[in-house]
Structure 1
Amino acid sequence: MQQFDLVVVGSGPAGRRGAIQAAKLGHKVLVIEQGKRVGGVSVHTGTIPSKTLRETALNLTGWRERGFYGRSYRVKDEISADDLRRRLIITLDHEVDVLEHQFARNRVQHVRGKASFLSPDTLQVVKDDGEVLHVGGTSILLAVGTKPYRPANIPFDGKVILDSDELLDIEELPRSLAVIGAGVIGIEYATIFSALDAKVTVIDPKPTILDFIDREIVEDFTYQLRDRGMKLMLGTRAEKVVKLDDGKCSITLDNGRVVICDMVLYAAGRMGATDTLHLSAAGLEADDRGRMRVNPETFQTTVPHIYAAGDVVGFPSLASTSMEQGRIAARVAVGAIAKEPQKYFPYGIYAVPEISTCGLTEEEVKERGIPYECGIARFRETSRGHIMGLDSGLLKMIFSMKTRRLLGVHIVGEGATELVHIGQAVLNLKGTVEYFVENTFNYPTLAEAYKIAGLDAWNRMGEIRHAAAE
């Protein structure tokens, strides 16, 4: 049995960052990956594929140019599933090549196979050819990620009734799509297929969507979706899904309505991929969704030398935060100092349009009783926005009336996930409204929206101050 300083199960964002961090500190590291190639869910079925699919759809449909040339404008008249897959394969090959090079450069060993605990410090690895390995770890990091939740009452067939992993392998693009689940994954895919001119219906039992996002941003977002013909059937549950004789699908809702479509995507939740780990042999157990409970500062489980990081520990389930969790867990595991991460991190939703947010929402500011003011900028107010043909897009900042510090930044529109980092930096550096008023931004850029929103807030704050003085 080989012994390692750190054994990492899973090679997604948390696993690979944790493994490389420990190796850079001079420790012997092994990564176990059950997939055919390294990269985990992030590279093969999640983050990278969905964002690649989005970019391909926007390019081939000419989506970004329709503000000038009309809704009928297209770069390619007939877009097939193969067109979308071609770019995806190139992107995934590149990601895998980069990751394998990083492992080799940092002398991280990796093996393909399914891992399970034999004891708290020993794992069994069953390789594809049937060979069984036993490996020991002074510390063990579980970074196994998640898999789609597949309830028994949904007749998945991998062709027209699918989960989010299977969607990437479809043979034909549907003319109509029903998405069950209005979470981040469901909304991302719903809007991507809407951009491909499919008729999309979103079904969710909750009356609202994306509840962790500022409500004003969500209202602007949902207006855009409905404006282009998407149907949001919220506050209603899908009771029954049936594949019809003509190949279409029928969804019966709890209010008696029936939705007929070419394809159904079930995207209502994910499960931690812990069911095959034999956690009980290590003295561990997962919750009812397969997720691990950890110390949020060290990412230790109830067994001190076993750590968990990434999507398997739950919210926020972002590739960016998973990487940081894996890095911190690895440093703690090998006895290195782990600095506390910055307080504010950005959240990105790669829908069409994008949403990105950092800091407190207006609802959270109200709950805390903080006197505040908001500044708003619309992308069409910027010269760059007009050049790009944007007729939508909104940037909102929230400031404390007492300290004048930025409390939150929320963006919906083209480039939101790139623009948010300016606000993130100001948040973490405790900047005030004066930064945006006095700073110079490149012209013409969408980043100019920060100055417009800053001036909007500054003017409002001044009006309130003068009124109070009177």
Structure 2
Amino acid sequence: MADHQYDLVVIGSGPAGEAAAMSAAKKGLRAAVIEKRNVVGGNCTHKGTIPSKALRHAVKQLMRYNTQHLFRALGEPRRLTFPQVMSEVNRVIPRQVEMHTSFYARNRVDLHIGEARFVEAGKLEVHLLDGAVETISAEKVVIATGSRPYRPEDVDFSHPRVYDSDTILDMQHTPKNLIIYGAGVIGCEYASIFAGLGVKVDLINSRGSLLEFLDDEISDALSYHLRDIGVNVRHREEYAKVIPDGRGVTIEMKSGKRIHGDALLWCNGRTGNTQYLGLEEIGLEANHRGQLSVDEHYMSAVEGVYAVGDVIGWPSLASASYDQGRAVANAVIGKGHRIIKDAPTGIYTLPEISSVGKTESELTAAKVPYEVGRAFFKHTARAQISGEKVGMLKILFHIDTLEILGIHCFGAEAAEIVHIGQAVMNQPAPNNSIEFFVNTTFNYPTMAEAYRSAALEGLNRVTRL
């Protein structure tokens, strides 16, 4: 049994764990990472963000080929199977692993491959892949073990036609009809991906509208465009029973409906990966979803044990996890750090969605006097050239101060475009005004010039008051 001593040990090599370890090493701490896979990157690289976004990109390219007039001259619309598309996606993951692996060597962060378990506070056992056991001691431990799809006990996930958002990436056929249960971010993303492949999709939503945390207008636009590409969205439905057989899967709903598909993709929530950490040995308890509570310094209820990333719940974004990892490294050494509260949403449906700041509903409830400026992509030259005419940019701003209160974008490159508004919005007053966009020259033709159009439209409304 080998013994190792560190200043800080991170459990998990996803975005949060990697950022915590690298940042700690750059601050002079002797750091190590424990990863249970035999490669680094965490769920983000192997099952989540990277493969799903690479899959989306491939499907988007196929959709453009099949819909744009230029490509129609090359022949009839083409179909690709799901395994064919995934073969292209799987080229990306090894490149990501190679890049992230190099970070550890470059920053002299030790990497231990095995499953970690607490023996006591500040002491861990690592069960290696060859059966050996290492003992690792550290003054500080950061739990960054991420999350996995939630699996209710009454659904048979061992059945070959029942998938979750991890196992769907290994599917070896292309269903004609797919049921997606759960219309959160992951469910909506996969609904648009499979519809783009020509699969008939039933998207089952237990709520009254899609992604209710979004601005209402953006949520409505998503619902319309999902239906436009062939997704059958069913609101206010909950399952009573899942019945898989040799021909597919039938879901009996509490409403009495029976919905049949060739396969089922379960996308109803996620669970923190804490079940095998031996938390009981240090007196730490996760909630019913396997998540840990932390204070403003990302410290758990146990002194010297921190947690970041999906394992602490909201916002459960790779972007926020990277920032939380850097923040916890500062917290460990007693340096000032920020709590991540302002992460923009990035939802990679087809078309994509991104937003930052307040929604109209939130501003109305808070009785904030605001106005709206909109720009529709179909009116911009760049969108007309590229053929990406679906979507809009929406700016919410204070009627009196003209302060930007929210940016909401739906359409091509939304997750890129939103950062222009975010940068201006975060400036100190009065530089956070919507007037910035009319007093700044934008390249032409670009998607970014939608900010100028939206600002002019919004300011015209205020002028008429």
Match of 1:189 in 2: 190
Match of 2:269 in 1: 269
The residue type equivalent to 1:405 in the other structure is E
Instruction: Note if contact 1:65-1:389 (Cα within 8 Å) is conserved in structure 2.
Output: no
Instruction: Note if contact 1:344-1:427 (Cα within 8 Å) is conserved in structure 2.
Output: no
Instruction: Note if contact 1:251-1:260 (Cα within 8 Å) is conserved in structure 2.
Output: yes
1:352 pairs with 2:353: no
Instruction: Note if contact 2:66-2:77 (Cα within 8 Å) is conserved in structure 1.
Output: no
Provide the rounded CA distance (Å) in 1 between the counterparts of 2:208 and 2:72: 30
Provide the rounded CA distance (Å) in 2 between the counterparts of 1:92 and 1:397: 36
**How far did 1:128 drift?**
1.4
Relative distance call for 1:313 and 1:235 in structure 2 (3 A) is same
Match of 1:228 in 2: 229
Provide the rounded CA distance (Å) in 2 between the counterparts of 1:72 and 1:260: 38
1:204 pairs with 2:205: yes
RMSD across aligned positions (CA): 1.8
SS in 1 for 2:103: helix
Provide the rounded CA distance (Å) in 2 between the counterparts of 1:178 and 1:263: 6
Match of 1:376 in 2: 374
SS in 1 for 2:395: strand
Match of 1:385 in 2: 383
Match of 1:409 in 2: 407
Provide the rounded CA distance (Å) in 1 between the counterparts of 2:248 and 2:73: 27
Provide the rounded CA distance (Å) in 2 between the counterparts of 1:69 and 1:248: 38
Provide the rounded CA distance (Å) in 2 between the counterparts of 1:167 and 1:95: 20
Provide the rounded CA distance (Å) in 2 between the counterparts of 1:27 and 1:393: 47
Deviation per CA, 1:184-223: give whole Å up to 9, x if none: 1111111110111110111122112211111111111111
Relative distance call for 1:151 and 1:343 in structure 2 (3 A) is closer
Instruction: Note if contact 2:397-2:406 (Cα within 8 Å) is conserved in structure 1.
Output: yes
Deviation per CA, 1:431-454: give whole Å up to 9, x if none: 111111121111111111111110
SS in 2 for 1:446: coil
Match of 1:312 in 2: 311
Match of 2:436 in 1: 435
SS in 1 for 2:242: strand
Instruction: Note if contact 1:32-1:111 (Cα within 8 Å) is conserved in structure 2.
Output: yes
Instruction: Note if contact 2:65-2:71 (Cα within 8 Å) is conserved in structure 1.
Output: no
Match of 2:32 in 1: 30
Provide the rounded CA distance (Å) in 1 between the counterparts of 2:422 and 2:288: 34
Identity in percent: 40
Provide the rounded CA distance (Å) in 2 between the counterparts of 1:424 and 1:133: 46
1:9 pairs with 2:11: yes
Map 1:134-173 → 2, pairs under 5 A: 134-157=135-158, 159-173=160-174
SS in 1 for 2:464: helix
Map 1:428-467 → 2, pairs under 5 A: 428-430=426-428, 431-464=432-465
Relative distance call for 1:237 and 1:341 in structure 2 (3 A) is closer
Instruction: Note if contact 1:397-1:410 (Cα within 8 Å) is conserved in structure 2.
Output: yes
The residue type equivalent to 2:317 in the other structure is L
Provide the rounded CA distance (Å) in 2 between the counterparts of 1:316 and 1:209: 18
Match of 1:243 in 2: 244
**Aligned to 1:53, which of 52, 55, 58?**
55
Map 1:260-339 → 2, pairs under 5 A: 260-295=260-295, 297-335=296-334, 337-339=335-337
**How far did 1:49 drift?**
0.8
* 5+ residue gaps, structure 2: none
Provide the rounded CA distance (Å) in 1 between the counterparts of 2:73 and 2:339: 47
- TM-score (structure 1 length as normaliser): 0.94
Which moved further from structure 2: 357-366 or 221-230? 221-230
**How far did 1:280 drift?**
1.3
**How far did 1:75 drift?**
8.7
Provide the rounded CA distance (Å) in 1 between the counterparts of 2:75 and 2:342: 39
Provide the rounded CA distance (Å) in 2 between the counterparts of 1:64 and 1:406: 38
Provide the rounded CA distance (Å) in 2 between the counterparts of 1:333 and 1:87: 41
Match of 1:118 in 2: 119
Size of the aligned set, in residue pairs, is: 460
SS in 1 for 2:374: strand
**How far did 1:68 drift?**
3.9
Provide the rounded CA distance (Å) in 1 between the counterparts of 2:341 and 2:151: 35
The residue type equivalent to 1:403 in the other structure is T
Relative distance call for 1:451 and 1:282 in structure 2 (3 A) is same
Instruction: Note if contact 1:62-1:75 (Cα within 8 Å) is conserved in structure 2.
Output: no
The residue type equivalent to 2:374 in the other structure is I
Instruction: Note if contact 1:121-1:139 (Cα within 8 Å) is conserved in structure 2.
Output: yes
Provide the rounded CA distance (Å) in 1 between the counterparts of 2:308 and 2:76: 42
The residue type equivalent to 2:376 in the other structure is R
Relative distance call for 1:342 and 1:257 in structure 2 (3 A) is closer
Deviation per CA, 1:15-72: give whole Å up to 9, x if none: 000000001111111100011211101000001111011011112x233762546999
Deviation per CA, 1:276-318: give whole Å up to 9, x if none: 01111112111110000001x3111111211000001111100
**How far did 1:81 drift?**
3.0
Match of 2:424 in 1: 426
Provide the rounded CA distance (Å) in 2 between the counterparts of 1:317 and 1:288: 17
